[in-house]
Structure 1
Amino acid sequence: MDGILPLWKPKGWTSHDCVAKIRRLYGTKKVGHTGTLDPEVEGVLPICIGQATKLVPYLTDTKKTYIAEVTLGVSTETEDSTGVTVEQAVVREDFSVEQVQRVLDNFIGYSVQVPPMYSAVKVNGKKLYEYAREGLTVNRPERTIHIERIQLLSDIRREGKRVRFCFLVECGKGTYVRTLCVDIGDRLGYPAHMSGLIRTKTGSFDRNSTYTIEEIQQAKERNEHLDLLLPLSAGIAHLEKIEADGEMADRVFHGQKLKMPEGLTGTKQFRIQQGGRLLAIYKPHPLESGIAKPAKVFHYEQE
């Protein structure tokens, strides 16, 4: 049993909760998720089953799309609405849509971000949130992030001393939207936090292609849950595809090196398929020019 289950993660569940539930529903331990979502966040969370677990790093690396709400006037220790208040201020300006969009535009492209203390980033083998829960603060490693698009989605809403607005962001791996909300507030001159977040897309998977836990349970009751699984190739649609003939398929099966195919754009990894079946992912050989070596090879049970 191999495939990708495009799950819509519900609020209140951890990513691990989702994995545990799918393990029970599909009767297998070989299950992995493709990018942690905090419990209070809902959204697209592809689940990999069987050999698809080999694709977890590739899906984790894909572009993500979120809809976030930022609240100006209060910051928290967790940078979201679950944390203890750190700073408060009365928002006196009436920001225009144009003003806010200009600030958002400044975040497009590459920039440096410091992950929040309440995060799973490891420092000296220990997760940052473990230090934070002990009341400790440690130096956090900076990381380069990339934001492809960021767009204001709502009016600027005043609620007493606070101001709220929603924005859409398309970003690369490792971007903390919580921290982005704090940085947006800083550019506008006020403490801020992320007061809501939905992940609407991961790689090629969007909200319309997902199933809820309830829908998966109902499919299980009808013995149709296997029909919900997508082929492995759906998880790496962003990689260029090479169609293998019989000879190439045999060489791939045995993990042999190949000549780099002609016509590829750049020197990135590519996928090799035979019909609709994913055979392998290959990458340029680091020591042999014009040669590709296997990064992942997939072996299927005889049907």
Structure 2
Amino acid sequence: MDGILLLHKPAGITSRQCVSKVQRLLQTKKAGHTGTLDPGVTGVLTICLGKATKVVEYLTESDKAYQAVIALGTSTTTEDAEGEIVEKVELTKSQVNEMNIMSTLERFKGSMTQIPPLYSAVKVKGKRLYEYARQGIEVERPKRNIVIKDIELVEPLYDKDGQWMFTIDVTCSKGTYIRTLATDIGRALGVPAHMHSLIRTRSGPFLLQDCVTFATIEKGDYELTPLTKALEAWPVFVPSANLAEKIRNGAVLSKDLLPSFQERLIVEAESQEWIAIYRHHSEKEGMVKPEKIIVL
């Protein structure tokens, strides 16, 4: 079984558990997801099966999009609704208004440095940060560079269960912690905050509306997306028979033999039985080399 399953991940289960359940339902051994979602988070979980696992690394690198609800007035140990309360203040709507939120969000667009949450799976000296946190051990958390491609207020301030909240859409680079973004936005507004809820609406080229649930999978009502869908953003080239034979054998080539490209080029056999992913050679100027050859 080869292809990409677009799962609408439910809350209350880890991403790894989702993959294991898909493996059992579809009776397939080789599977992997392209970006972890916390247990409480729902939305697009892209699961590659069989030969499609060869493109996991490319989908992992792709941008993601989320819709997040941010709660003001309370901060937590985990930066989301699951943690213990660290700080709580009483707020009135006059303290934080819609215009203030919108102007603050604009400041978060672009490249920035982010420090991952204490309760996260980031490794420091061979251990996850959440392991240190549970033991009460303080360690220096590694900074990471992220990019917020777009951030937009989609639902202004509203009162829910005695908390002021607002909803944002975010498009960002891989490795971005939205719950940390939520607390940073609160800090910029001058109030404690945390991420109340989160849903991933896009992962690379794949959208939430194209996802299936476990219930529909169990009924057999699903389709696998071809692995080439994950690579569609890159240019495609179909070579002559002579050149195709060299490419299939993993030849390093002069860049003049292939069309000009920036990051990667998909070389596809005319018979569509295989594809090769070429990139510029890091050591030999003017040359390109295969990064991966996938027999379909």
Indicate whether the TM-score tops 0.5.
yes
Change over 3 Å in CA distance of 1:278–1:211 after alignment to 2: farther
Q: Is the 8 A contact 1:73 1:161 kept in 2?
A: no
Which residue of the other structure, out of 282, 289, 295, is the alignment partner of 1:293?
Answer: 289
Alignment partners' CA distance in 2, 1:4 and 1:250? 28
**Does 2:155 match 1:154?**
yes
1:297 shift after superposition: 1.1
1:160–1:238 CA distance, 2 compared to 1 (3 A): same
For residues 5 and 249 of structure 1, the distance between their equivalents in structure 2, rounded to whole angstroms, comes to: 30
What does residue range 252-263 of structure 1 map to in structure 2 within 5 Å?
A: 252-260=247-255, 261-263=258-260
Are residue 249 (structure 1) and residue 236 (structure 2) matched? no
3-state SS of paired residue (1:156): strand
Which whole-Å deviations, capped at 9, do the CAs of 1:155-209 have from their partners, x for residues lacking one? 2113576310000000001100000000000011111100010000011100122
Q: 1:98 aligned to 2:95?
A: no
Which 5+ residue runs of structure 2 have no aligned equivalent?
Answer: none
Aligned pair count reads 292
- Compute the displacement of 1:90 (Å): 1.2
Distance 1:172 1:291 in 2: 29
Whether 1:209 and 2:210 are equivalent positions in the alignment is yes
CA distance in 2, matches of 1:204, 1:82: 30
Q: Is contact 2:78–2:117 with CA below 8 Å preserved after alignment?
A: yes
Structure 2: how far apart are the matches of 1:212 and 1:247?
45
Counterpart position of 2:75: 75
Task: Indicate conservation of the 8 Å contact 1:66/1:198, yes or no.
Answer: yes
Q: Indicate the larger mover: 172-181 or 155-164.
A: 155-164
Using structure 1 for the length normalisation, give the TM-score. Answer: 0.91
Structure 1 residues 194-203 or 289-298, which shifts more?
289-298
The letter of the residue matching 1:178 is R
Is 1:48 the counterpart of 2:48 in the alignment? yes
- Conservation of the 8 A alpha-carbon contact between 1:77 and 1:86: yes
Q: Is the 8 A contact 2:112 2:147 kept in 1?
A: yes
| Residue number in structure 1 paired with 2:15 | 15
Are the aligned partners of 2:3 and 2:52 in contact in 1 as well (CA < 8 Å)? yes
Distance change (3 Å), C-alpha of 1:237 and 1:277: farther
- Gapped runs of 5+ residues in structure 1? none
Q: Percent identity?
A: 42
Counterpart of 1:262 in structure 2: which amino acid? P
SS at 1:54 equivalent: helix
Q: Tell me the residue number matched to 2:136.
A: 135
What's the CA shift string for 1:21-65, capped at 9, x where partnerless? 111122222100010001111101110011211211110110100
Q: How far apart in 1 are the matches of 2:85 and 2:242?
A: 63
User: Which stretch of the first structure deviates more once superposed, 91-100 or 62-71?
Assistant: 91-100
Shift of the alpha carbon at 1:8?
1.1
Q: Once superposed, what is the RMSD of the aligned Cα atoms?
A: 1.6
SS in 2 for 1:24: helix
**The 10-residue stretch of structure 1 (180-189 or 97-106) with the greater mean CA deviation from structure 2:** 97-106
| Mapped contact 1:10–1:41 kept (Cα < 8 A) | yes
Q: Where do residues 210-289 of structure 1 align in structure 2 (5 Å cutoff)? A: 210-219=211-220, 228-260=223-255, 261-264=258-261, 266=262, 268-274=263-269, 279-289=275-285
Q: Contact (CA 8 Å) 2:274, 2:295: kept in 1 or not?
A: no
- Which deviates more from structure 2 when the two are superposed, residues 255-264 or residues 149-158? 255-264
